[in-house]
Amino acid sequence: MAVMLAVLVVSSQLSGRDHRASSRAESPRTEVDRPTAPQTRAASPSATPSATPSAQPSTQPSTRPTARPTRKPRATLRPGPALLAPGAQGDAVRDLQHRLVQVAWLTGPVTGTYADGTARAVSGFQAKRGFPVTGEVDRRTLRRLHEMTVTPTEDQKHNRVPGLDARCRTGRVLCVDKTTRTLRWMVDGEVRMTLDARFGGPSTPTREGTFQVRSKSRDHVSSLYDTSMPFAMFFSGGQAVHYSPDFAARGYAGASHGCVNIRDHAGISWLYDQVRVGDRVVVHRS
């Protein structure tokens, strides 16, 4: 009897377990969303400034303007009394002009007369150095010019070329030097202009010696070669000093048929108006 009761109890327990298992299989439990635990975040900077100053220096640039030292205005330079001015003449002007030639503010010959060209050169020299621009030479301008140049020789102040052919030192002369390949326009020993020159080749050499300008022809055309010879100044037969477009284009790669070629159009144009029939022409080698 006791055995039968034990069997019934075990059977009842097993039946109850099967019922619960079946119930779980047929009606799965719906998982309820649970609130997620808040994640730990890095502490954000407080919007309220701390009452205690930070020990670390601020890396943010200051918005307050930095005070700048006040600059003192530069004193305005005033021109001094004029030592040389337009209209002056003499040796002091020659010295001034050659010094301006040395610093490339003046071109052309030294004349000894303080004219417009000299005044413009002085003004340019003054402006370059921040001096008051007057075109007149005061002590400040002259002192700076002397610091930048050397004292010119008497030959330089009078446009004389050392070692120049003696025949070129007097009167009005077209002095043609085959060695230096130049033509110098000389008046009483002073060089008024220097131009590059080209001469005849081996078969048609330019004759050497002392000649005179026999005739002039501004728009000459060669009857022998049918070529243009502007500003021609004839001195020996068909040989002349004249402008050559070929010399201007090819330089010394070519040669003339015996004439003295000049390639500076503006220069020969000016020279043509200076030279007179009867002026001497000296062709030599230095």
Calpha distance 213→192 (Å, rounded) = 18
Q: Which of 197, 194, 198, 207 is nearest to 164 (CA)?
A: 194
CB 52 within 8 Å of CB 81: no
How many CA atoms lie within 13 Å of 21's alpha carbon, on the beta-carbon side?
Answer: 6
Query: How confident is the model at residue 167, as a pLDDT?
Result: 96
Task: List, run by run, the mean pLDDT of 10-residue segments along the chain (286 residues).
Answer: 46 49 43 44 46 52 63 79 96 97 90 96 96 96 95 90 88 96 93 93 96 97 88 97 94 94 95 98 95
* DSSP-assigned beta bridge partners for residue 172: 187
CB 69 within 8 Å of CB 77: no
Apex 139 CA angle, 133 and 140, nearest 5 = 55
Q: Cα separations (Å) of 88 from 82, 121, 227?
A: 11, 15, 47
**Catalytic residue, candidates 242, 257, 265, 284:** 242
Q: What is the CA radius of gyration of the chain?
A: 51
pTM of structure: 0.56
Tell me the per-residue pLDDT of 221-271, one tens digit each, with 9 for 90 and over: 988 888 899 999 999 999 999 999 999 999 999 899 999 999 999 999 999
> How do strand 172-177 and strand 280-284 relate by DSSP bridges?
parallel
**Catalytic residue, candidates 168, 257, 259, 284:** 259
Tokens of 54: 């930070």
Q: Which residue has the tokens 């070629």?
A: 261
> Is-catalytic flag, 259?
yes
Query: How confident is the model at residue 126, as a pLDDT?
Result: 96
Delineate the domains of the chain, giving CATH numbers in brackets.
Answer: 91-156 (1.10.101), 162-284 (2.40.440.10)
> Is-catalytic flag, 175?
no
